[in-house]
Amino acid sequence: MTTRLLSTLLVMVIAVAATTAAATETDLYKKIWVAVHDFTVSPELAPKGVTGWNIAEEMENKLTQTGKYRMITRAKIAKVLKEKNIDTGGSLSPVEMGKVSQAEYIVTGELKKDGDRLVMVAKLLDISIHTGEVEKSFDTWMYDDPGEKINDPVSFMIAILAEKLTMTPGEFLEYGLDRIKAKDYEAAFESFREMQRVAPFEQIKSIMEDVKKNPPPDSQLDIPVTGQDAGKQFDRALMLMIKGENSIAAKMFYGIQKNPQVGELIKLVEIAKSLSKNQSERTEAAMEEASRKYWNAVKNKEQQERDKDPRVLCDEALGQLYGVLNDKNVFLSALTRRRVEQMAAKVEALKKGMYSGPSADGIWVVPELEIAFVPIKPGILTGSANADKNNPQIRYRAKITRPFWMSRYEITIQQFSKYLISLTLNDRNARYQVEKGLNLAGEDCPVNEEYNMKAGSGQTWGDPSMPMTGVSWQGAMAFCKWLTVAERAAKRLPSGYVYRLPTEAEWEYSCRAGNADGRYYYGNDMAVLGDYGWFAENSGNTLHPAGKAKPNAWGLYDMLGNSWEWCHDWYDENFLSFDCENPVGPKNSPDSTKVLRGGSFTSNAEDMFCSARYNFDYKSGKKNIGFRIVCAPAI
């Protein structure tokens, strides 16, 4: 390593006395001339509004605030370029910039995207004698959080790198010792690691060989008392070594090692590394686990958590992260704490977004009622109107032109009970409207006149996760209207959308889940129907809790069996016999009946298939009739 390189490693150190006598700060430090070149920014970050010019401007401000460099401002450089009539076209290289500005050193670097991380590198280039030789190079990273303004993590990284660029090896040593006292082993190890980058340890060990063989008595050594003293002495010893006064420098290095706080420098680094590793491993493990749960909440990627409520996954991830942040036995560096806080904010934002309304990107869960909705994309429903008969097949084709969301499960007793209890019991009109669609005194009704679930002695109720049955079409629509008003007030409804019962076309399109020709949504084999639904042959003549059978390809449960489901449409003997868009059925029914779909626990297996239809008086309920709802365009 050349004398020039060693001297620039210290950056500010230019002279020192030949003895260990104290020297004034004026003797020790002389500021060098530095200019900041535009940073390179990867193209994918351009839409976020961050530019290399912005980063350079902020880096210049941070370096100026440290007071350790003589800064040649970018404004001054622009003035010189204008005076000399130099048109750079934005392509001035660091070396060219140095020549124009007469700077000794140039600070430059890059900001790039690496997965969900922002990585920043900052370099100090020597352009006084060498042509852009890298004297110092540091890097750091933070999460690129879509919910956070990119300027926040970028500014944080600039501040960290600006501080490192101005630190001497002794200052890294001093900071590391201070962090060990605070039990912040992670920051201590990082500081020692950066110290090793800017200090010639191999040369130091080489000049100390004779001193170690013949150690002088302590009375002949300058043993630093504090970490700060050790740091200053380390820089002075380095300067002596640069001047070729190796004997005195070696004694000073040896004196530093005699300091109780320091010991042998290499051992100190290893100790800090070991302690840091234990702390970092736990922090990294928590962040990795939180990240895994975050992405499962976003995309439901892993089978073991595919059916778990995304908000539960978010809560579990936050438990991991806050466990680290609140552990008094773990001292996190400012950078690591910020990274953990970033991850927590990212999860919090996702969880909050789940309350902001339906999204095409994932499952939407209505707060408090816990109704999960699956996004259904527009498409084409094709099928046969007489799939259960030997008559010639009547084919139909209907376009669904707008997206909608269908409840993953049939509405449960627990969900319907929350709706009932939310109504004012003293409001006679509200009670009248509810009881028009629900025979509370009836044997088949799973809730009592106080709107509480009845005890578990009934055949089809007693479990809050059972489908809510015994509700008329009117009662189901009243539930939908109430939910629409509540969600519209909470500003969680897409424009033009309401909560309602699905049309027949929406129901069958969702049931088939892309299987246009199959008798069932999984194929045509009746032998495996029992895996996908409850019917007379396997139900034991009773309802089952929602979601216990296998779902269809779009993640909808109990589309066949368990309970018949009300549809929005009036009943007509013929469903569809022509091509159409977004059909809603006839305007009325001579028998005052509405459509039922899906079959129930009392249906025979041969009567259960995707296109099977039934009808019932819209003012009445029954023990095997329930409903599921959609968030869809208003009709």
State whether residue 72 is helix, strand or coil: coil
Q: What is the 3-state secondary structure (H, E, C) of 418-471?
A: HHHHHCCCCCHHHHHHHHHCECCCCCCCCECCCCCECCCCCCCCCCCCCECCCE
Neighbours of 50 (CB within 10 A): 18
Cα separation, 270 vs 185, in Å, equals 11
30 close to 23: Cβ distance less than 8 angstroms: no
Query: How big is the CA angle at 69 (ends 64 and 75), to the nearest 5 degrees?
Result: 55
Confidence of residue 283 (pLDDT cuts 50, 70, 90): confident
Amino acid residing at 114: D
Query: How big is the CA angle at 583 (ends 578 and 587), to the nearest 5 degrees?
Result: 105
Confidence of residue 151 (pLDDT cuts 50, 70, 90): confident
Across the range 343-370, mean pLDDT stands at 85
567 close to 488: Cβ distance less than 8 angstroms: no
Across the range 552-563, mean pLDDT stands at 95
Question: pLDDT tens digit string along 75-112?
Answer: 888 888 788 777 655 567 888 887 788 888 999 999 99
Q: Which of 143-157, 232-246, 529-543 has the lowest mean pLDDT?
A: 143-157
Q: Is 528 exposed, middle or buried (0-12, 13-18, 19+ CB in 10 A)?
A: exposed
- Using alpha carbons, select from 264, 256, 262 the residue that is nearest to residue 232: 256
Amino acid residing at 402: R
Mean pLDDT, rounded, of the chain = 82
* pTM, to two decimals: 0.55
Q: Which of 22-26, 174-178, 535-539 has the highest mean pLDDT?
A: 535-539
pLDDT on residue 436: 74
Q: Are strands 564-570 and 133-143 parallel, antiparallel or unpaired?
A: unpaired
pLDDT on residue 629: 98
Element containing residue 134 per DSSP (H, E): strand 133-143
- Using alpha carbons, select from 242, 251, 354 the residue that is nearest to residue 298: 354
Across the range 544-558, mean pLDDT stands at 94
Q: How far is CA 76 from the centre of its chain?
A: 43
Confidence of residue 165 (pLDDT cuts 50, 70, 90): very high
Percent with pLDDT over 70 in the chain: 84
Q: How far is CA 93 from the centre of its chain?
A: 38
pLDDT on residue 25: 34
Across the range 431-445, mean pLDDT stands at 76
Q: Which of 217-221, 359-363, 539-543 has the highest mean pLDDT?
A: 539-543
Which two structure tokens, joined as six digits, stand for 556?
């909808």
Q: Is 249 exposed, middle or buried (0-12, 13-18, 19+ CB in 10 A)?
A: buried
pLDDT on residue 373: 95
On the question of pLDDT at 366 being above 80, the answer is yes
Question: pLDDT tens digit string along 502-530?
Answer: 999 999 999 999 988 788 999 889 999 99
On the question of pLDDT at 214 being above 80, the answer is yes
On the question of pLDDT at 60 being above 90, the answer is yes
Confidence of residue 337 (pLDDT cuts 50, 70, 90): confident
pLDDT on residue 510: 97
Neighbours of 107 (CB within 10 A): 25
Q: Which residue(s) pair with 497 in the sheet?
A: 633
Torsion sign (Cα): 371, 374, 379, 382: negative
Q: Which residue(s) pair with 310 in the sheet?
A: none
Q: Report which of residues 578 and 292 the model is more confident about.
A: 292
On the question of pLDDT at 264 being above 80, the answer is no
On the question of pLDDT at 201 being above 70, the answer is yes
On the question of pLDDT at 13 being above 70, the answer is no
pLDDT on residue 130: 62
What is the full DSSP assignment across 593-631? EEEEES--TTS-GGG-STT-EEEEETT---TTEE---EE
Which two structure tokens, joined as six digits, stand for 9?
């490693």
- Using alpha carbons, select from 476, 471, 421, 409 the residue that is nearest to residue 446: 471
State whether residue 405 is helix, strand or coil: strand
Q: Are strands 33-36 and 70-71 parallel, antiparallel or unpaired?
A: parallel
pLDDT on residue 469: 92
Confidence of residue 4 (pLDDT cuts 50, 70, 90): very low
Confidence of residue 360 (pLDDT cuts 50, 70, 90): confident
Residues ≥6 apart with Cβ < 8 Å to 110:
39, 40, 41, 42, 120, 121
Question: pLDDT tens digit string along 46-58?
Answer: 888 889 999 999 9
Percent with pLDDT over 90 in the chain: 36
Q: What is the 3-state secondary structure (H, E, C) of 467-517?
A: ECCCECHHHHHHHHHHHHHHHHHCCCCCCCEEEECCCHHHHHHHHHCCCCC
pLDDT on residue 266: 53
Question: pLDDT tens digit string along 451-475?
Answer: 777 776 556 567 888 999 999 999 9
pLDDT on residue 225: 77
pLDDT on residue 300: 58
pLDDT on residue 188: 78
pLDDT on residue 217: 86
